[in-house]
Structures are given as C-alpha cells and as structure tokens.
Structure 1
Amino acid sequence: MSSVEEILRHVNTKRLWRGAALLALAAFSSPVFLLTLSPVYGSAPSHLFHGYGVAFAAAAGWFLKDFIHQLSGRRAVYLLPVFAFWVPTIQYFLLQQSFVLGNPTGPIITQVIAFYPFVLLSVACAGKLVQAGLNLERYGDLAKEHIPLLGSYVVYSFGEKFAKLFISKFIGSFWLFSSTGLQLLVAILSSAVIPSKLLLLAIPSVLFTLTSNVHLPLGTTTSALESTLHKEGFSLVDRQESSTGYISVLDNLEDGFRVMRCDHSLLGGQWTKTYRHYKPKVQDPIYAVFSLLEAVRLAEPDHGEPRIDANSKALVIGLGVGTTPAALITHGIDTTIVEIDPIVHKYASKYFGLPSDHVAALEDATVFVDRALKTPEPVQYDYIVHDVFTGGAEPVDLFTIEFFENLNSLLKHDGVIAINYAGDITQYPAALTVRTIQAVFPSCRMFREDAASDDSGDFTNMVIFCKKSSATPLRFRDPVPADFLSSKFRETYLVPKHEIDPVVFTTVTGGRRVLRAKETGRLYRWQDQGALEHWKIMRKVLPDAVWENW
C-alpha cells in the first residue's frame, strides 16, 4: 500500500469537508464584508488595513485553535454559525456611529469588533476539523501541523477568489445576493455545515436583519430606509448593488435636487425644483464641472471654421448621471458612451433624462479603446470627454500615458479632449497627471470648477482641455444662445473662467515624469489619502444619516 493510500485510509471525510467548508465560507465573507463597509466609509479606506487584519486574525485562529477548543469546552464550533448570524446586526449598529468614529478609524474598529473575531473563530474551528479529518499524528508533529496548514491556506485562497468572481457576476441580482444578503447566506451555510442547538441565540439577530436592517433590500427594510431618509429631508427613488458598488438615486425634498450615489460618493445630480416656465433642454447639473465639460464644443479648430454639430462625433468615457453626454446628444452630436456599470447607465436613462439616441458600450474603457484601435478603420472623434472620478480616487489605469496615447489615436487631427481630474492640485498625483497628459497632447489649458480657497489643501475638480494639434494655441469661441440649451445655469458656468497657471504643477518636484501602466501601484498611497479627504467633503454635502443608512 502506498503512502497516499495509507493517508486516505485514515481520513475522516466528514470532519475534513466540514473544516474545508468553514474555511471557504470565512474566505467568501472577506470581500463581502468590504462591500458592506464601502457605502459608509468608501472603498479605498475600507481596504486600507483589511488584508493585514484578516491575515493576523487567521494566523491567531490557527495557532490558538487548541487553546480556543479547550477554553470553550469543545463548543466553539457550535458558536460559529451563531456569531455569523450576528455579524450584520453588530455591524449595522457600528456603522450608525461612523460620524463619531471617523475615517479610517471607523472601518478598523468595525472590523475588529464585527469581522475579525469571525475569521479567527472560523480558522480555529476549521483547523481542528481539518487536523482531525486528516489524522496525521502517526507521521509526527511536523506533518500533523504543516500539511493541514498548507491545505487550509489553499482552500482559503480558492474561497476568496471564488467570492470575487461570484460577486462580480451576481451582486445585486437578487436580495440574497446583496452584500448584507450574502452575509446572511454565509450564516445559513455555516449553520448547515455545523448544525447546532445554540442557533436559537441567533433568532433576535435574524429577525432584526429581516425587518429593520435597512442595508438588506427587502420590502420591509426598504420602507424603514425611506422613513429614516425622509427625516433627513431625502426620498429614496431606487437602489441596487452593482459591479462598482452600491448605487442609489435620492431626491432632496427641501432644496429640490436629485443625485446618484455610488458607495460614499456622488456620481452627479440635477436640479429638480425650478421656477415657473423655466425648461432647459437638458436639466441643470448641481455641480458646475459638468457644464464646464460641455465647453469642449467651444474649443476652436485649427482651420478657423466652427464645427458643425450634426457632422461631429463624441466619445464620453464615464457616464455619471449623464449630464454632459445628454448635452452633446441634444446638440445633435453623434455620441458614444463608455460606462463600466450597467446599473449606472440604467439609472441615468431612467431617472436623469439621458437621451436614448446614443451608442452605449457597457464595459471597461481600456477594453473598448483597445478593441476600437484594432478595427481596420477605427472611428475617430471630434470630441473626447474623460470623466471617470468616483469614490475619492481615479481608476489609475485610465490616467496612464499608454491610455492617453490610445485616446490620442482615436481623436481627429483637430479634435479636442476634456479630462476631469478631482483631487488636491497641490499634491504629487495632480502634477503627475498633468505631466502625463501634456506628454501626449501638445496644447492644453486647465480650469478649476470654482475659485481657489484659502485652505491649506486645494481639493477641487479640474478640467484639462487639450488639442491634438499644436498648430495654434487652444482658444474657446464666444458662445451663442444655442450653446446654453435654454439654461441659465449654463449661461453662468459653461464658459471656462478659473484658469490654472501650469506653473503650479512644475513646483511639485520628484517622482516619475509620467505615469506608465506598469507603475500605477506607486499612486495607491496618494489615492488612499485623497479618498480620506474626499470622505470628509462628502460628509458636508449630505447628512451622516444618509450615508450610513444605505
């Protein structure tokens, strides 16, 4: 008999699969827990210490498994599914204190109390089951400890990868496949793996989750959410979790505006309360930057003759609520919109008046651009609008020199590109971004959304307008009434006003000259800092309770 056959002969299959199942469920719950943190703290801050905390909790669970087993009188494994059912309830009440805990302290405390103990207990219980299932005592302590440890690591890694794949495919498609619903599903599966009479202790948490936890998208919980939001002067229009985060549409009942939310950020908004007989052809945005982006039409071509909208093509990367592409479409421009999240496109069309007569590419922008360049005769555009900011940090892959060079190839000879950058323009990432853009486009001008403040930081929306050609400097023509689309808001904000002196970015020294695709990891630290700053700004835009009750 071979050594493998000898090992298999002594395997306790029931204990082994139970241990593996608990490890897989613990791994699955890791990215799910991050999803539940992101609407309150933002995606980047939620991730900051998560990996370190999970690794520490798992290591502690493995090396303390015998101690935990003895301390609990061998009952720890029966407490595990009970704790799993309590995780969403404990987390719910901790998230309600985000305004007190702050950021990034809040995510850390929430995970320390609500999630890391679950990981520790899962690994400890699974470790004992796997060891007992393999039954390797006769091969010595080294084999008894290290073979189960290695196997457990493989199972955990597989479980985490499966969770990310599952989430990307099914998140939001069914109430049980929402982030809080998946927490509940993990608890249900844990109780199926380890049946326990102690599950009676989980009944209060289950009842609360199904009736009062507003993060679970059921009829009763949605009613509770609407009641809470109404007290803050808001009304829920719609919500769904999607590939980029938690998406919702909210109406402000007092000031009269509608916004689309993605996790702890606003993708944009429109004014809904207007004076009598005022009917702009495209609704006024709540942020001036979206009208500022429309000024890409005002950039004069080199040949001196104004472009004809009906003969022009535009590519918009990043949809938001669709204000800018809606304006371009209304002007008669053939517009293609690239948006990675289909729910964002659905809500922009349904709730923000995005016209249907456009080409929608619901995919990653890098995939779209790469494929477009590989076609025999790539479509070239008169205008490109690059507006992909969300959650306090840009997707860095869309700010590399390689991506801008590809966009340059899609731009007509006298075409114009408008790039929205949101961040602190006194910091290194802003300077790096400007240098990268200028390395591709020879003639650029930069404008901020509003006048500079006296604060030590300078977080703002900046639009960088660039021409493909350097034959003449970039200039804007004087607008005519048709450019404003019957909008008083556009009369005020369409024409760029607050120009930024490029010298501002030359004073930031050090670092790389341009951002290359293989070096995007260098910006993560800066992105985390920007996300925390953006979190504070968002907390001034909407009340704490609106962010906490999603």
Structure 2
Amino acid sequence: MADGKESVSDANRSSVPMEDYIADGDSLEESQKEKGLPRWKILALILLMPLCSTAVQLPLTPSHGSIPTMEYHQIAFQSCIVVYFAWRMIYTGRPLMSLSIQMALIPVLAAWIPVITHFLTPQARRLGPAYNAALIKAVTLLPLQGLILNVVRESIERSFPQSDFIVGLGALGLYFGIDHVWSGYRVYVLSLFYGLIRPYMMLLLSLVLIALLPSRWITWALVAFPHTLFYNPHSTFAPSFTHVHETSRELMLQQGFSLVTKTEGITGYLSVLENVQEGYLMMRCDHSILGGNWVAGVGSWAGGENPTLAVGRVAEPIYAVFVMLEAVRLVKDAHDSTLPVSDEQAQALNIGLGIGTTPSALIAHGINTTIVELDPAVHRLAVDYFGLPPNHTAILEDALTFVERELSIPNYKQYDYIVHDVFTGGAEPAALFTAEFMSSLKKLLKSDGVIAINYASDLDLPSTKLVINTIISVLPNCRLFKDAIEEEGVRHGNFVNMVLFCRMRDGPFTFRDAVNSDYLGTSTRRSYLQPRFELDLGKYVTRGSNQQLEANASLVLHAGETRELEKWHGLAARRHWEVMRTVVPDLIWELW
C-alpha cells in the first residue's frame, strides 16, 4: 500500500467510503485500524439483542404457536455462538467484512425482518410450525444477532486489547443474564403497549439501530418501512389501517370468518372471530381456540351488531368439553340416593376462564362462583363478547399465587366444586399439574367436594400418563371421560379432550341423571352434559389388590421437577397445531 495512503489521518480515514475498507490491496492491519464503537453503544447493542429476539418471535406465535416458535430457538442460538467462537479461533485470515460494513448492515437487516417474516409465514403449511419458525429465524434473527455479536466483540477488542476474550465472554454473559430477566417479565410489559408490539416492534428497533449505527446505507432500511406500515395485514397504522383492514376482511370473509376485535394479553395475542357462514363466535389465543358460542343471526357481529343474551340465559357453546365440566354438579355416591349439595348453598372455584362457558353455567344455576384467570384481557373479552355474567368474584392473577395466599389464611374458604381448566396452545402449564399444586387444591375442597380437570393431549404420549398419575397420587378416587367417540387414529396423533372427575370421598361415584333445568335451555348441554364416553384409567395407572387406583411413584410430577413433562410439550403442541388447522383455515391463522 502506498505511503501516502498509510499517512492518512484518522479523521480523513473516517470519511473514506465503506466499500474502500475492503478494497483489493487493503491489508488486515489497515482494516483493524477502524475505530470501534463507544462503550455506551456497545452496552446499548447488548441490551437490544434480547429485544430483537422477542421482536422476531412475537409475529410468529399467532400463526405458529408459542411453543413451536420457541422449540429450536435456544439450541439454534447456542449453536450459532459455538460456531462463531470456533470460527474465530480457527480462522485468522482476512475479515470477510469490515467493521463499518457490518455496522451498516445491522439496521438494514432489522428493517427487512418483518417483510421476510410476512412472506415466509405461509410456508408453515408445508414445513410445519417448528421447522418454519426455525427457517425464519435462520434467515433473520441469527444473522442479525451474529452481526451484532461480532460488532460488539470487535469493538471490545479495540477498547480492551489485552483482555478481549475475557471481556467478550463477560459481554456474552451479560446478554444471557438480560435475556433471562427479560423473558420473565416481557409478557407483562408488552401487554401494556398493544398497537406497537407485534406489527411494529422490529420496525421501532430498526429505528433505534439506525440512530446508533448511522451510515449511507440507511436508505436500504427505509425502503422496507412502507410494507410494514401500509401493506402488512397486521398493520394498525392510522392512514393505512382502513385499506389494510378492508383487504384482510375480504380475504377472511372468503374463508367464512370475520374479525370482531383483537387485543394483546399476558397469555398472548387475543382475538374474537365470527364464523359468518355457520354463525358462531370464538376466542383465539395465539394458535389456540379458547372456546366459542353460537350466536343468533349469522353475520350479526360482522355487521357491527351486538347480539347480547337475554337476561338469565346462557350461550349455546360450540365445544362439548366445556359443557362436560359442568357435570361436576352431577356427581353423587353410587350407592346413595342423596343428591349433591343444592346449587344455592354450593361454592365453586373455576381456575382458568377461556370464554367462560363453565363458570357462566355455574353462575346461572345460582352457585357462588370464584374465577381465577391470569390474563385480564381474557376476562374482559369473556364479559364483553361471550356473556360471562358480572355476578362473580374475579381474581385476575396466577393460580399458584392465589392458592398459596388462600391457604395462608386461618380458616380459609373451601369449595364444593373446583374446575381446573388451564390448557392452551397444545400444552399444559406444568406448574399447575404438579403433586404439590394438586395437594393444595385438595385442601381447598370440602370433605365431599369434587374437582373436574380438563386435559387435552395425545393419548399415546408419555406426558399423558405422567399427568394422570400425578393427579391420582393426590386424588385417587377418579374417573376419566373424553368429549366424544373417536376411533383411535382419527384425530391427529390420537389427540383428544378429556375431563378427569375426582372426588374427595372414598367409594365409587356416579352422576345423577340430568334434568331439563340442568340444560339451561341449550341443546349442546342436552347432548353432552352427561359424561358418557369413559376411558379406562387402568391404561395410565395401576390397580391395587382391591381394584383401587394406585399411582406409580416414579411417574409423579413435582414442583421444580417438571422437565419430564415439558420435554413433550413440543410434540404435543405440534399435534395440537395440526388439529387447529383443521378447525380454522390456514389463512385465518396467518392473517390474525
């Protein structure tokens, strides 16, 4: 290289076009003379990495499901880290890109991620949710994180030339620490900012990155903004929302559905959809359906009307399993004609709300009902759109916290009925199926109380046996029913909805015959309220010498030891995803 070029000052060198840094003839030593980032920008990039990860994942969960979206996330990122450090140790030649070009590429790639995600999302129909989510991350998140990581490392190397490896590991450790803390609170934080989250979070982050890493390549980043703002079907940007909404609305109507409302919740993306062809309303949470009701007048919600229920009536539900949970009222001793406690005197605890099918019926029967629901947005939608009566006690918090607090009160309240209905997204919250939590619920039951536990799973998975064994270990007097007759193999992977009825008292129990007043004027309850399709619990637990159910102690789930159950969540969620795609068309899930 000429002496005149070597004598160029740092000030003059900073004005050299980025392309010249990697021009033929530049030496490795010359490229390494580029100035690294200030330390505050290094810290800012480390802080932004977990946010970028979240911004890539959020638009995927409504169409791919939260569990499939995350299934290969950690292993992919960790593999990227290992490959990166291995490459740095093995390869000592000329850098493939100068530091300046890497910094210029970061905001450009971030700005184009929503566009890439939009066009790759439909490929889930062919690849499945987990593989497609991994593909999207492979071409968006991993390159972005890799560029940021390398810029951080090289900048640290220039700031701490004698200890770059140690400081680099420290920076990586800081990232993992921030990511761990952020993952525990992000759902609560993001639920406060609906309208700026899923469609726009990456766009906002790209603006921050442009401010941190300005370059002449900004134009390439800005080119991607119009699609996110004006042509993305999820956009709510005021000037374009009407056009985008009308386009999406027409596409959805072609599939027989209409979007009534949508919001952001702690548990995920929530929306209310109306099937305008068949005439029912349903609530979705990410890639799961929380329930639905038939509505009077097909297309009434799509037309802007609110077909509210008459006073004293309950809605006609579209799913049998939520009706079957109401049979908790019908349980009685098999050899005793004494009827269960009267509705007026009964106390019920409903853990997990959904659209409120079961608690609405309990309230309609005059039962004093307490509802525990983690997500306030779910409760609000249940009241506003699905007829959940206001005369109930609503506890909007985590069930673990509620139960622990209740049991700490002297002479704590006990219940005649407990309904445990927390399944969503293809998997169960493991902490609410441990032996310790079931023992706590047992304490909240009266001596003749009954608990009904909704569990949807693949009958062939070991996780099903694990959950049932755990429940039986605490409440051994149980019977298991499914919601309908299905020949094995008809559903995807033998995935079925089940209800486990468990009674505090010993001895066999049955269900009293339902009468007209139990049906609350609905045909669904007339068909499905009485449990009929019993499953043999002996397939999942052993029987003792007196034919009493006995749990296998080695197959009991304990608090803090839920990995054995969680390792099956991915497979269960993928099979649940397949089932959901048969219930609602692909395009509806993708438009959200």
Q: TM-score, normalised by structure 1?
A: 0.90
Structure 1 residue aligned with 2:502: 466
Instruction: Write the distance in 2 (CA, Å) between the matches of 1:93 and 1:106.
Output: 12
Instruction: Write the distance in 1 (CA, Å) between the matches of 2:478 and 2:552.
Output: 22
**For residues 452-471 of structure 1, what are the alpha-carbon distances to aligned partners after superposition, in whole Å with 9 as ceiling and x for unaligned?**
3131842101111111111x
**For residues 152-176 of structure 1, what are the alpha-carbon distances to aligned partners after superposition, in whole Å with 9 as ceiling and x for unaligned?**
2133124424533552332143356
Instruction: Write the distance in 2 (CA, Å) between the matches of 1:469 and 1:377.
Output: 21
Instruction: Write the distance in 2 (CA, Å) between the matches of 1:524 and 1:103.
Output: 18
Shift of 1:23: 2.4
- The percentage of counterpart residues that share the same residue type is 39
**1:28 aligns to what SS in structure 2?**
helix
Structure 1 residue aligned with 2:329: 297
The answer to whether 1:99 aligns with 2:122 is: no
Name the CA shift for 1:165/1:515 in 2 (closer, same or farther; >3 Å).
Answer: closer
Name the CA shift for 1:40/1:427 in 2 (closer, same or farther; >3 Å).
Answer: same
* Further displaced range: 384-393 or 153-162: 153-162
The answer to whether 1:542 aligns with 2:584 is: yes
Q: Count residues with an aligned counterpart.
A: 530
* Further displaced range: 103-112 or 378-387: 103-112
Instruction: Write the distance in 2 (CA, Å) between the matches of 1:210 and 1:506.
Output: 55
Structure 1 residue aligned with 2:74: 51
Shift of 1:74: 3.4
The answer on whether the counterparts of 2:349 and 2:369 sit within 8 Å (CA) in structure 1 is yes
Query: 1:529 pairs with 571, 575, 578, which one?
Result: 571
The answer on whether the counterparts of 1:57 and 1:119 sit within 8 Å (CA) in structure 2 is no
The answer on whether the counterparts of 2:279 and 2:296 sit within 8 Å (CA) in structure 1 is yes
Name the CA shift for 1:24/1:223 in 2 (closer, same or farther; >3 Å).
Answer: farther
Structure 2 residue aligned with 1:120: 146
Name the CA shift for 1:428/1:13 in 2 (closer, same or farther; >3 Å).
Answer: closer
Letter in 2 for 1:500: L
Name the CA shift for 1:218/1:62 in 2 (closer, same or farther; >3 Å).
Answer: farther
Letter in 2 for 1:80: I
Name the CA shift for 1:67/1:298 in 2 (closer, same or farther; >3 Å).
Answer: farther
Aligned-residue Cα RMSD (Å) equals 2.5
The answer to whether 1:239 aligns with 2:262 is: yes
The answer on whether the counterparts of 1:170 and 1:177 sit within 8 Å (CA) in structure 2 is no
Structure 1 residue aligned with 2:562: 520
Letter in 2 for 1:492: S
Query: 2:249 pairs with 211, 223, 226, which one?
Result: 226
Q: 1:452-531 residue pairs with structure 2 within 5 A?
A: 452-455=486-489, 457-470=493-506, 472-506=507-541, 512-531=554-573
Structure 2 residue aligned with 1:209: 228
Structure 1 residue aligned with 2:435: 401
Structure 1 residue aligned with 2:317: 285
The answer to whether 1:326 aligns with 2:360 is: yes
Identify the structure with bigger relative contact order (alpha carbons < 8 Å, sequence gap 6+): 1
**For residues 447-506 of structure 1, what are the alpha-carbon distances to aligned partners after superposition, in whole Å with 9 as ceiling and x for unaligned?**
110113131842101111111111x42111111211110111111111111011222224
Name the CA shift for 1:435/1:233 in 2 (closer, same or farther; >3 Å).
Answer: same
**For residues 512-547 of structure 1, what are the alpha-carbon distances to aligned partners after superposition, in whole Å with 9 as ceiling and x for unaligned?**
232111321111222211111111111101111111
The answer on whether the counterparts of 2:273 and 2:283 sit within 8 Å (CA) in structure 1 is yes
**For residues 357-407 of structure 1, what are the alpha-carbon distances to aligned partners after superposition, in whole Å with 9 as ceiling and x for unaligned?**
111111111111111101112111010000111000001111111111111
Instruction: Write the distance in 2 (CA, Å) between the matches of 1:448 and 1:414.
Output: 24
Instruction: Write the distance in 2 (CA, Å) between the matches of 1:23 and 1:58.
Output: 14
Name the CA shift for 1:228/1:202 in 2 (closer, same or farther; >3 Å).
Answer: farther
Structure 2 residue aligned with 1:262: 285
The answer on whether the counterparts of 1:250 and 1:260 sit within 8 Å (CA) in structure 2 is yes
Instruction: Write the distance in 2 (CA, Å) between the matches of 1:73 and 1:415.
Output: 68
The answer on whether the counterparts of 2:329 and 2:340 sit within 8 Å (CA) in structure 1 is no
Unpaired runs of at least 5, structure 2: 1-34, 299-306, 544-550
Query: 1:412 pairs with 429, 432, 446, which one?
Result: 446
The answer on whether the counterparts of 2:252 and 2:258 sit within 8 Å (CA) in structure 1 is yes
Shift of 1:224: 4.2
Instruction: Write the distance in 2 (CA, Å) between the matches of 1:68 and 1:410.
Output: 68
Shift of 1:33: 2.2
